[in-house]
């Protein structure tokens, strides 16, 4: 199964041992690079912002939130206010409070509509959804749906739609999964996820069929889906698995047709029975049911029930 990895920005700390420095720690993060964490009075907005980032580095997430909130209160129209609101979501996410993290990101979008950081915020929301897949699939689905609602043609939207379908599949809600996968093909027909989706749709149908009393229509649709996948992706990573699934479904189909022939034998309609046995031999020649159908035909000829 194809997977995309979304990694939260890495942070690190190096302790400086120089006795004469008025700063106790050097910290580095992806956005600012190396910086000193102030241990003296903060006099500028930039210093306060860097101090809040240093609290994140030190894993003092709730203290960092308070500092970012103070920046927003002090200079609500500044660029520092916007990025601070985003970082509040980041801090809550690192602290495992995904509900507050999402609220913070939503607030950033509400306060700064049309911001150039929209994609950045949506990607951070996506990261929250990814984390929740293993613990709360339904919450993850809501996150991904919001992302698509806000920016249906954005670069993250196709990934969000895939994850919605995958969550339903993981929950065993196969009808919903099929619908979500098909919606992906409808909305993003040229996306790189298409081969994966083409495989997942028939696979979902197979799993869905197992929950029912032999839904042969669904099985046949699944087989056709796997065959379409192989035509489009003969060397695809799921090619061998698709072939195996096709063979399993064909055996089930052969068994079904054979059993219909057996039914006609029981009700003493040998001609109709022979018709189904011949169908099994012709369409499923490499199965055990073809062998059994041939035995039945030989028996019917022996007793002269058929020519």
Using one digit for the tens of pLDDT, what is the confidence trace for 110-160? 998 888 999 999 999 999 999 999 889 999 999 999 999 989 989 999 999
The phi, psi pair for 104, rounded to 5°, reads -65, -40
Whole-angstrom distance, CA of residue 217 vs CA of residue 256: 12
Kindly state whether residue 66 falls inside one of the protein's structural domains.
no
In a domain, 83, yes or no: no
Residue 276 inside a domain? The answer is yes
Examine the pLDDT at 61 and tell me if it is beyond 80: yes
Domain hosting 307: range is: 250-307
| Domain count across the chain | 1
For the chain, the farthest-separated pair of C-alpha atoms sits apart, in whole angstroms, at: 109
Q: What is the DSSP string of 192-246?
A: TTHHHHHHHHHHHHHHHHHTSS--HHHHHHHHHHHHHHHHH-TT-TTHHHHHHHH
pLDDT greater than 80 at residue 286: yes
Residues 252-284: tens digit of each pLDDT: 999 999 999 999 999 999 999 999 999 999 999
Flag whether pLDDT at 177 surpasses 50. Answer: yes
pTM (2 d.p.): 0.76
On whether residue 261 sits in a domain, the answer given is: yes
User: In this structure, is residue 26 part of a structural domain?
Assistant: no
**Would the pLDDT of 251 be above 90?**
yes
Distance CA 305, CA 307 (A): 7
- For the chain, state the CA radius of gyration: 30
pLDDT at residue 36, as a whole number: 54
Q: Would residue 304 count as lying in a domain?
A: yes
Q: Which helix (H) or strand (E) holds 162?
A: helix 157-171
Of 180, 178, 110, 200, nearest to 140 by C-alpha is: 180
- Give per-residue pLDDT as tens, 193-210: 999 999 999 999 999 988
pLDDT in the model for residue 113: 87
* Residue among 209, 201, 216, 202 nearest 250 (CA): 216
In a domain? residue 270: yes
Q: How confident is the model at residue 184 (pLDDT cuts 50, 70, 90)?
A: very high
Residue 269 falls inside a structural domain = yes
Q: What is d(CA 9, CA 283) in angstroms, rounded to the nearest whole number?
A: 56
43 pLDDT band, cuts 50/70/90, is confident
């Amino acid at each position: 199964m194809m997977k995309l990895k979304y990694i939260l920005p890495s942070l690190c700390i190096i302790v400086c041992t120089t006795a004469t420095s008025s700063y106790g720690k050097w910290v580095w993060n992806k956005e600012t690079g190396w910086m000193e964490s102030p241990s003296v009075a903060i006099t500028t907005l930039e210093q306060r912002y860097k101090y809040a980032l240093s609290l994140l580095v030190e894993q003092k997430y709730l203290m960092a939130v308070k500092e970012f909130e103070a920046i927003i209160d002090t200079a609500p129209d500044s660029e520092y206010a916007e990025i601070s609101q985003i970082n509040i979501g980041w801090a809550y996410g690192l602290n495992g409070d995904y509900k507050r993290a999402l609220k913070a990101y939503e607030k950033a979008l509400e306060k700064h509509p049309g911001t150039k950081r929209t994609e950045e915020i949506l990607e951070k929301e996506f990261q929250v959804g990814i984390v929740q897949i293993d613990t709360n699939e339904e919450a993850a689905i809501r996150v991904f749906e919001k992302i698509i609602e806000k920016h249906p043609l954005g670069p993250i939207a196709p990934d969000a739609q895939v994850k919605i379908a995958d969550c339903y599949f993981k929950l065993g809600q196969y009808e919903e999964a099929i619908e979500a996968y098909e919606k992906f093909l409808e909305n993003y027909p040229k996306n790189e996820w298409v081969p994966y989706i083409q495989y997942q749709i028939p696979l979902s149908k197979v799993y869905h069929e197992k929950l029912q009393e032999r839904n042969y229509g669904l099985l046949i649709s699944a087989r056709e889906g796997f065959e379409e996948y192989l035509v489009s992706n003969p060397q695809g990573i799921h090619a061998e698995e698709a072939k195996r699934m096709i063979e399993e479904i064909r055996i089930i189909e052969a068994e079904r047709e054979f059993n219909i022939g057996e039914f006609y034998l029981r009700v003493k309609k040998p001609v109709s029975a022979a018709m189904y046995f011949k169908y099994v031999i012709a369409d499923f020649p490499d199965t055990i049911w073809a062998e059994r159908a041939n035995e039945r035909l030989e028996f019917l000829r022996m007793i002269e029930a058929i020519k």
